[in-house]
Amino acid sequence: MPTPSIPVIAIDGPTASGKGTVAQRVAARLGFHYLDSGALYRLTALSALRKGIDLGAEHALAKLAAALPCSFQGEHILLGQEDVTAAIRAEEVGNAASQIAILTPVRKALYGLQLGCRKAPGLVADGRDMGTVIFPHARLKVFLTASAEARAERRYKQLIDKGFSASMDDLLKDLQARDARDSQREVAPLKPAEGANVLDTSDMTADQAVEQVLSWFAVIKN
């Protein structure tokens, strides 16, 4: 088991709330390791889509997740030897990831992998259940949120910048559907963890959100 003294900052929130960007920057500022838990589900989803595995075949998906040949190298995410950093951000993969994330066997298969990311000097973990399930004793728990409209606009810009085609209306509908699916699932539903600091980033820049998280951590650390 990881040493309890190794600090963890758990940052949860819905799709496109900015948690990934904020978590990465906080980790860089503190010199901590970074865990993008959502990437694990996206990697599983990408592998399933490529292999033609039904998204409801929970045991086949769990077996796939348990043996996922993935690695994180800086900002790059590898599946085997292939850089799939951009591929896992496609909307089709994101929607598939949201569907398999409700499956208990898949979540159990990825549980140990996520715990193993807790290494000195510390970890910043982002996802949907970092503070509620994976790291319930995290030193700091943050729940980032934003309006669906603000998140759809951010997602639209992200996709266009990466060369993907996108429709604002479709993105908004997809986000609302994902929010409902993630918050209503029986296993690890999306919600603020007990004791979490809730931060609405609708009208904030990423840098402002980073500074707020760092200020909360400084108070706790001292």
User: Has 16 been labeled as part of a binding site?
Assistant: yes
**pTM for the predicted model, two decimal places:** 0.86
For position 1, what pLDDT does the model report? 44
Calpha distance 91→89 (Å, rounded): 6
Is the distance from CB of 169 to CB of 48 less than 8 angstroms? Answer: no
| Per-run averaged pLDDT (10 residues), the chain, 222 residues | 77 92 95 93 97 96 94 86 94 91 93 92 95 96 95 89 88 90 84 96 94 96 68
The domain 8-221 is placed in CATH, from the list 1.10.3470.10, 3.40.50.300, 3.10.180.10, 3.40.50.10540, at: 3.40.50.300
For position 4, what pLDDT does the model report? 60
**What is the residue extent of each domain of the chain?**
8-221
Calpha distance 178→13 (Å, rounded): 12
Helices (runs of H) and strands (runs of E) counted in the chain: 8, 8
User: Has 221 been labeled as part of a binding site?
Assistant: no
For position 222, what pLDDT does the model report? 62
208 contacts: CB under 8 Å, gap ≥ 6: none
Torsion of CA 94, 96, 97, 99, to 10 degrees: 130
Calpha distance 31→25 (Å, rounded): 10
Calpha distance 109→129 (Å, rounded): 15
Calpha distance 63→40 (Å, rounded): 14
For position 159, what pLDDT does the model report? 84
User: Has 20 been labeled as part of a binding site?
Assistant: yes
User: Has 13 been labeled as part of a binding site?
Assistant: yes
Calpha distance 63→3 (Å, rounded): 28
Q: Which residues of 189-215 are buried (b: 16+ CB within 10 A; e: fewer)?
A: ebebbeebbebebeebeeeebbbbbbe
Is the distance from CB of 41 to CB of 100 less than 8 angstroms? Answer: yes
User: Has 14 been labeled as part of a binding site?
Assistant: yes
For position 178, what pLDDT does the model report? 86
User: Has 108 been labeled as part of a binding site?
Assistant: no
Q: What is the pLDDT of residues 78-100, one digit of tens each?
A: 999 999 999 998 889 998 998 99
Is the distance from CB of 106 to CB of 65 less than 8 angstroms? Answer: yes
User: Has 94 been labeled as part of a binding site?
Assistant: no
For position 98, what pLDDT does the model report? 87
User: Has 21 been labeled as part of a binding site?
Assistant: yes
Cis omega before residue 136 (within 30°)? no
User: Has 215 been labeled as part of a binding site?
Assistant: no
Is the distance from CB of 126 to CB of 51 less than 8 angstroms? Answer: no
